[in-house]
Amino acid sequence: MGFSDDDRILIENLYIFKGYRAKKLITEFPDKGSGSHRLNKLLRKLRDTGTTARRSDSGCPRSAWIDDNINAVNDLVLSQEDVPKTH
């Protein structure tokens, strides 16, 4: 599981303004249960991009979720009901 938005903001601020690194963050917040690998990855992203936010172009393209596509997939799935064991 990834970091929540609040966790990301806190980590980003502590890193930028107080100079906290992964080891210090882990000792300060042991109840978060975040391993050093995930934390180092987040801090590397912060150093490389200047933010911990997701890129705007990450994830599934919006065009995949338009109603026409959803209806087309539903029609294809329903058309296979009488033909078992087909894809």
Q: Tell me the domain boundaries of the chain.
A: 5-49
- Which letter, b or e, does each residue of 36-75 get, where b requires 16 or more Cβ atoms within 10 Å of its Cβ? eeebeebbebbeeeeebeeeeeeeeeeeeeeeeeeeeeee
Q: Taking a C-beta distance cutoff of 8 angstroms, is the pair 22, 36 a contact?
A: yes
Q: What confidence tens digit (pLDDT) does each residue in 55-75 have?
A: 777 776 667 677 888 888 888
Residue 24 has what pLDDT? 87
pTM (2 d.p.): 0.55
